[in-house]
Structure 1
Amino acid sequence: MTRKPKKKQLSRKGIAWVCAVALLFVFAAGWHFTRVQATKPGRQYIHEQAQLDPQEISATLRDKKGKELSEMMESGKIDVLSAFDDYALFGDSRAYGFESYGVLDPNKVYADAGHTIRNITDQKDTIAQTKPSKLVFSYGVNDMGLDIGGNEKDGYRKIYEAQIDALLENDPDAQVFVCSIIDVTPQAKERSPRWDKAADFNAQIRQMCEDRGWTYVDNDGLGTDLSHYQEDGVHFTSDFTWEWARNIAKTIWETVYGNK
């Protein structure tokens, strides 16, 4: 009778080796699967970011920086008025309050009673020498009273723009900030109906800034509470002038430093 060959049996050592290899395979497969799953969100994020418009990304970053700056200014971590570090401010008797109330450096404020946008170029030679990095403009009351540019459509904007351009010839790299006109009181308008042009003039100023890439300083948020005004209903109190300066400075911070 022919004997059937005996099946070889694995020794204990062999069984242990096979089990070890199997466990190692299971571990490796599990680690690879976990790694792939973990990297999916990262890859998805990169893919999503690659699909975004660069301008959208830039705008998102600016918004984030703007919010961070606002929080730091509100908490006092940043001195808002420190934005006025290298500038020249031009304006009328209202803007002169920045000097007379001790808010800003008088050597950098070129404002006086009776001044209009036509006085901007009076300082061309000075600006040619100092070349400040920021030019701030705040006019309006006398311009409305004299109805400057009122003889043609958008006439105020055209004269304002030409005056600023003339100054920029001597300081071409300066950033331009143009303040909106803060309205006078209703009582003041009764005395001088021509002061009822703030909305129209501001629309022209805003459009000018948008067209030229200049910064429009919106003062509407400050309101027109009667406590802001002196008895004439036109000029401002010391407290409000400080508040107004902080609003301008906040805009400078967000424009100059929020974009970096």
Structure 2
Amino acid sequence: MIKIKRKTKRYLVILGLAAVIIILAIVIVRGVSGLIRPSVDTSAGLEYIQEQEAGDVTEIESKISLLEQQDSPEDGEDDRSVREKFGGAVVIGDSVTNGFTVYDVLNASSVISKIGVHLYETDELIAQAKEISPGTIFLALGRNDLAATEGDVDEFISQYTEVLNKIAEEVPDANIFVNSIFPVQESAIEEDPYLAYISDYNTALKELCDSKSIAFIDNTDLVEDRYFEQDGQHFIADFYPIWAEHMAEVAAL
């Protein structure tokens, strides 16, 4: 009996070892087969790509455009500074225009001004503009000419026409924009009664611009009492970025 039990025990041990060996063999075989298993069948994916390549190009371009819009600034916001916008533009005017450089709103190369200038004195300013050769010219003239023309709107328009013709001759490639004459406060009109005709002069100036297909920029709604200097005619620094942005918007700078 003792010999039988020993044989049985030996037999069980052998079976156990055999089972372990079989299990290890299965694990090894599966591992190796996983490493050498053929790549996943991509024929379906390739077929889809080929179909898309043969699809409507317009649809593909539309999707690309949508992605580009998503990458662009929200609501088409323009983050350029006002100086950058006026990089190829020049503002020609009087002492009010001079505020752009006094308050460091625009680069000096974008401003051509002369304090107290009249329309018949603009040849020098136009010559400076010719040297710069800007793509866009903004005119901000006329306030000093109300008194000079003594309220004669026809004479004013005649002189302004000469200025426009001179610019067209000297800087033919420039786009011209004409600013309206800014309103003034009552205190300024008391000092210079001719300033009361600003509205009439602006109406005639707009008609002149329309006849020449030149853009007229009405700045009347921009002006508020809080922007005036004590003299009721000139403006504080806060006003100039507002004016500049308005011009840039109209001219699509």
TM-score (norm 2): 0.65
Q: Tell me the SS of whatever aligns to 2:90.
A: strand
Q: What's the offset of the Cα at 1:212?
A: 0.7
Structure 1 residues 2-41: Cα deviation after superposition (integer angstroms, max 9, x where no partner): xxxxxxxxxxxxxxxxxxxxxxxxxxxxxxxxxxxxxxxx
**Correspondence for 1:193:** 193
CA contact under 8 A between 1:83 and 1:249: conserved in structure 2?
yes
Instruction: Provide the C-alpha distance between the structure 2 equivalents of 1:129 and 1:190, rounded to a whole number of angstroms.
Output: 40
CA contact under 8 A between 2:98 and 2:111: conserved in structure 1?
yes
**Correspondence for 1:230:** 229
CA contact under 8 A between 1:147 and 1:194: conserved in structure 2?
no
Structure 1 residues 34-67: Cα deviation after superposition (integer angstroms, max 9, x where no partner): xxxxxxxxxxxxxxxxxxxxxxxxxxxxxxxxxx
**Correspondence for 1:165:** 165
Query: Over alpha carbons, which structure has the higher Rg?
Result: 2
Structure 1 residues 59-103: Cα deviation after superposition (integer angstroms, max 9, x where no partner): xxxxxxxxxxxx64xx55455553312122111101100111111
TM-score (norm 1): 0.63
Q: Which has the higher contact order (CA 8 A, sep 6+)?
A: 1
Selected match of 2:113 from 111, 114, 126: 111
Alignment: residue pair count? 179
Structure 1 residues 82-139: Cα deviation after superposition (integer angstroms, max 9, x where no partner): 3312122111101100111111111231112111222321134333333211111002
Name the CA shift for 1:123/1:94 in 2 (closer, same or farther; >3 Å).
Answer: closer
Which blocks of at least 5 consecutive residues in structure 2 are unaligned? 1-74
Name the CA shift for 1:193/1:173 in 2 (closer, same or farther; >3 Å).
Answer: same
**Correspondence for 1:154:** 154
Name the CA shift for 1:98/1:245 in 2 (closer, same or farther; >3 Å).
Answer: same
Instruction: Provide the C-alpha distance between the structure 2 equivalents of 1:105 and 1:126, rounded to a whole number of angstroms.
Output: 15
CA contact under 8 A between 2:113 and 2:125: conserved in structure 1?
no
Structure 1 residues 136-158: Cα deviation after superposition (integer angstroms, max 9, x where no partner): 1002321123236x44x522122
CA contact under 8 A between 2:130 and 2:170: conserved in structure 1?
yes
Instruction: Provide the C-alpha distance between the structure 2 equivalents of 1:246 and 1:99, rounded to a whole number of angstroms.
Output: 15
Instruction: Provide the C-alpha distance between the structure 2 equivalents of 1:250 and 1:214, rounded to a whole number of angstroms.
Output: 16
1:91 aligns with 2:93: yes
**Correspondence for 1:43:** none
1:203 aligns with 2:203: yes
**Correspondence for 1:179:** 179
Selected match of 1:128 from 119, 130, 142: 130
Instruction: Provide the C-alpha distance between the structure 1 equivalents of 2:218 and 2:127, rounded to a whole number of angstroms.
Output: 29
Q: What's the offset of the Cα at 1:180?
A: 0.6
Instruction: Provide the C-alpha distance between the structure 2 equivalents of 1:157 and 1:146, rounded to a whole number of angstroms.
Output: 13
**Correspondence for 2:63:** none
CA contact under 8 A between 2:91 and 2:137: conserved in structure 1?
yes
1:243 aligns with 2:245: no
Instruction: Provide the C-alpha distance between the structure 2 equivalents of 1:161 and 1:222, rounded to a whole number of angstroms.
Output: 26
- The sequence identity of aligned pairs, in percent, is 26
